[in-house]
């Protein structure tokens, strides 16, 4: 269980002035706004001096002018989850939540995440990267059907489709291609899907995802009320601990820090296959990290404060400045 910080030991003024970055211009803008508003409300209800910012082209000038002490990143997708805003905040010397520049960039790139995992011994489904239509012929020979087709640099299952034959593959590639020049075609894995939320150095209780749809797509994530989230996940304690440890290894392999989420599927032989890492997961009413935290005894408001506690800069970014105020017990 993850203990909730004691309110008696909390001084909300210790956080200083906090910016919650949300919105932006990525395909996940609307989900980011929902996450950001929830985070902002939680911080304000805890008496933290927090300000919500819908990120636009003038964000750097605004952050420089307003002089924030910390930033809570609630941006999803490109421009917010890919290392761009993280690099800007490093330059400005403002501690921020979540992973640093390199881990954020890797986590946003599904294929390069898989390459890192391969080197670390983390199992991930075989794949083909398809940049041109004529390269689709490689798929059947390399990995066979069925497959899942994904834009390499999108989140929230945007642009993803399953393909069972060549005609469906060509259509799915066109759909994904509308979002990304790099399209990942991955072998379909049949079996229960799980997610492991990570907070600090801990993996929270696993959640098993069940949907009547073909897979856990955008509709299943945000709109389908028939989607089921099982926590406890139904695994025995030893198996769950084994998978939690493997998820932490996958998280650490890309250099992620602070908080995040790792998704995987177990096939019919109980072999886990890791799919992707989310370095800025959703914080909406349908989001998985708050569900896992609740199962561990951590309220939404307390979860948000725990994430804010971890706001930091890369060690080399500003050696003369403390990474962040550390007035609270991050590890419980």
Catalytic residues: 28, 156, 222, 261, 263, 276, 278, 282
Alpha carbon 42 to its chain's center: 19
Query: Model confidence over 259-316: pLDDT tens digits?
Result: 999 999 999 999 999 999 999 999 987 789 999 999 999 999 999 999 999 999 976 4
Whether pLDDT at 130 is above 80: yes
Q: State the pairing for strand pair 49-54/17-22.
A: parallel
Question: How many angstroms separate the CA atoms of 291 and 244, rounded?
Answer: 16
Q: Tell me what pLDDT residue 211 has.
A: 74
Q: Which domains does the chain have, with CATH numbers?
A: 7-98 (3.40.50.20), 107-123+189-290 (3.30.470.20), 127-187 (3.30.1490.20)
Q: Percentage of the chain surpassing pLDDT 90?
A: 64
Question: How many angstroms separate the CA atoms of 204 and 224, rounded?
Answer: 24
Question: How many angstroms separate the CA atoms of 13 and 80, rounded?
Answer: 26
Neighbour-count burial for 209-227, b at 16+ CB within 10 Å, e otherwise: bebeeeebbbebbbeeeeb
Q: pTM, whole model, 2 decimals?
A: 0.85
Q: Tell me what pLDDT residue 157 has.
A: 61
Q: Tell me what pLDDT residue 154 has.
A: 67
Question: How many angstroms separate the CA atoms of 50 and 20, rounded?
Answer: 7
Element (H, E) at 303: helix 300-309
Q: Percentage of the chain surpassing pLDDT 70?
A: 86
Whether pLDDT at 122 is above 90: yes
């Amino acid at each position: 269980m993850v203990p909730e910080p004691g309110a008696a030991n909390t001084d909300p003024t210790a956080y200083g002035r906090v910016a919650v970055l949300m919105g932006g211009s990525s395909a996940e803008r609307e989900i980011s706004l929902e996450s950001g508003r929830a985070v902002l409300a939680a911080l304000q209800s805890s008496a933290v001096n927090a300000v919500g910012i819908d990120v636009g082209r003038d964000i750097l000038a605004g952050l420089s002018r307003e002089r924030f002490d910390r930033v809570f990143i609630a941006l999803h997708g490109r421009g917010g989850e890919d290392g761009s805003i993280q690099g800007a905040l490093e330059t400005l010397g403002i501690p921020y939540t979540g992973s640093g520049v390199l881990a954020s960039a890797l986590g946003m790139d599904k294929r390069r995440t898989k390459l890192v995992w391969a080197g670390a011994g983390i199992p991930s489904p075989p794949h083909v990267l398809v940049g041109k239509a004529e390269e689709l012929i490689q798929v059947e020979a390399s990995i066979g059907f069925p497959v899942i087709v994904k834009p390499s640099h999108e989140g929230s299952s945007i642009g993803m489709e399953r393909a069972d034959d060549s005609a469906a593959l060509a259509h799915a590639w066109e759909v994904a291609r509308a979002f990304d020049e790099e399209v990942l075609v991955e072998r379909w894995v049949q079996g229960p899907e799980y997610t492991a939320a990570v907070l600090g150095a801990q993996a929270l209780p696993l959640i098993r995802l069940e949907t009547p749809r073909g897979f856990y797509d955008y509709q299943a994530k945000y709109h389908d009320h028939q989607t089921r989230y099982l926590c406890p996940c139904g695994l025995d304690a030893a198996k769950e601990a084994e998978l939690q440890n493997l998820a932490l290894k996958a998280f650490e392999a890309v250099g992620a820090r602070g908080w995040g989420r790792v998704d995987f599927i177990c096939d019919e032989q109980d072999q886990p296959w890791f799919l992707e890492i989310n370095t800025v997961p959703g914080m909406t009413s349908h989001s998985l990290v708050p569900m896992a935290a609740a199962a561990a005894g951590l309220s939404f408001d307390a979860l948000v404060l725990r994430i804010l506690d971890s706001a930091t800069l890369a060690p080399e970014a500003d050696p003369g400045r403390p990474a962040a105020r550390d007035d609270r017990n991050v590890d419980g």
